[in-house]
Amino acid sequence: MSLKSFAAKLLAKKVKRDINRWSAAPRQYQMKVLKNLLESAKGTAFGRDHDFENIQDHREFAAKVPVRDYEALRTYVDRVVAGEADVLWPGKPLYFAKTSGTTSGAKYIPITKVSMPEHIKAARNAILCYIAETGKADFVDGKMIFLQGSPEMATKNGIQTGRLSGIVAHYVPSYLQKNRMPSWETNCIDDWETKVDAIVAETLPEDMRVISGIPSWVQMYFERLIAKGGKPVGELFPNFKLFIYGGVNFAPYKARFEELIGRKVHSIELYPASEGFFAYQDSQDQQGMLLLLNAGIFYEFIKAEEFFEDNPKRIPVWEVELGVNYVMIISTTAGLWGYNLGDTVQFTSLKPYRVIVSGRIKHFISAFGEHVIGKEVEQAMKVAIDTFDLKINEFTVAPQINPDSGLPYHEWLVEAEALPEDLNAVAHCLDQELQAQNTYYADLLEGSILRTLVITPLKPGSFNAHMKHEGKLGGQNKIPRLSNDRKIADALLRLQG
């Protein structure tokens, strides 16, 4: 055992003890976070406008601080972007994480001197939890790759601005610098396809042991590795032991990954965003990711079915229930207050609090009142993959409201290595699983409002071609699993020629 792996095991035990302590006292630690947030920001413009000085508990906080998304908070954010200090958080942000906006161009998410270390600590602790549980630490002696955006920064009114994954690249611990790949020069390549080819060339001769990134882009990397090296990834990298991912559900990709690798490897799921690092998989044996209750983020939850009502109830973490679809609301040391991240989550455990990401509050299909969510289509696809041994590259779902003939339906646009000749059997399997999860959908089929879903196979490379056309190929970008309109579906169909 190397000195580095021995030290990693010692640190893992210490970190795990700390995690056990705060995860066992959720209300205590979450109220401590809230009080620290309010005390720190009471002198800011936002704090004065919302009477932080006199807020004593969660009930008063919910009464005085409304739920806002980025657009609703924008009058404050624009002041921060313009260079004003003490607006949402004391002083000025350390960075702006630039993300794609849905209605008004780019969004600038502040990252502060206080919030930045929590991103790094969470990523580190996810790996340490794995070491503490499994006792496996030899991967720290080999090479690690993190597929991410360019670390090059722009400057906006004196504040460095870039993609979150590029910002994080500046904070790789010194003890990992020699292990980390790709090189800085390769990481700075803007064109994703050129970048992947350069990463393949750099990593192919190396002892790669940890690979991290969004599954769809790691899959692209694996496919190009195999094309260049002529062997499965597991043979090219015999010591490859751990895949770390976030951003999307891994289940639809798992069978294809095992085929590309040639064997199974352990994986760790992360839940990071520009707005904060919220959870990570702390156990290989338990479903869900541990919600980080002691990381400068105060959480509230609103039942998704009530979210669009007037004044829906905001629930603190100690009042949530298992299996309910919640919209997650955050308040953070980056100065986001009552902020609607847009994600929906479900709790899989309450001791400790573990979540899965079930979708996006704006990403659903309810063209007929069915309110089908991302988790439901992904679970249905997982069942179909297991039943028919499918190798799915990517898929998305959209409603077909005005078909050429017959009843309306849900269209599943699927890119796969191969699909069975009898797509009706696959469609029936997907449909049955979706009905089992969503009674509204089942009622619409029973009432002859909808007919059984339709699978539309797409030619290889369709999703990458669409993302390239949209200027979103690579990095942290991903295709929505489902949409309530046909914008993405029709764009993909136009690429079929």
Higher-confidence residue: 219 or 148?
219
Confidence check: pLDDT of 422 > 60: yes
Structural domain boundaries, residue 211 = 1-361
Q: Does the predicted TM-score (pTM) go above 0.85?
A: no
Q: What is the pLDDT of residue 70?
A: 93
pLDDT of residue 329: 98
Q: Give the pLDDT band of residue 439 (cuts 50, 70, 90).
A: confident
Verify that 301 and 390 share a domain, yes or no: no
Give the CATH number, domain containing residue 328: 3.40.50
Q: Is the pLDDT of residue 382 over 50?
A: yes
pLDDT digits (tens, 9 = 90+) for 314-334: 999 999 999 899 999 999 999
Q: How many domains does the chain have?
A: 2
Domain boundary (361, 376, 405) is at 361
Domain final residue pick, 361, 388, 411:
361
Same domain, 398 and 453: yes
The overall longest dimension of the chain from CA atoms, in Å, is: 68
| Per-range mean pLDDT, top range of 167-181, 239-253, 266-280, 474-488 | 266-280
Question: Is residue 127 located within the same domain as residue 222?
Answer: yes
Domain CATH for 403:
3.30.300
Q: Which long-range contacts (CB under 8 A, 24 or more apart) does 217-224 make?
A: 217/147, 217/192, 217/474, 217/475, 218/147, 218/243, 218/245, 218/257, 219/253, 219/256, 219/257, 219/260, 219/393, 220/196, 220/464, 221/147, 221/196, 222/257, 222/260, 222/261, 223/260, 224/196, 224/197, 224/200
pLDDT above 80 for 497: no
Indicate whether 475 pLDDT > 70.
no
Residues 333 and 392 in one domain: no
Q: What is the pLDDT of residues 257-281, one digit of tens each?
A: 999 999 999 999 999 999 999 999 9
Same domain, 7 and 141: yes
pLDDT at 175: 67
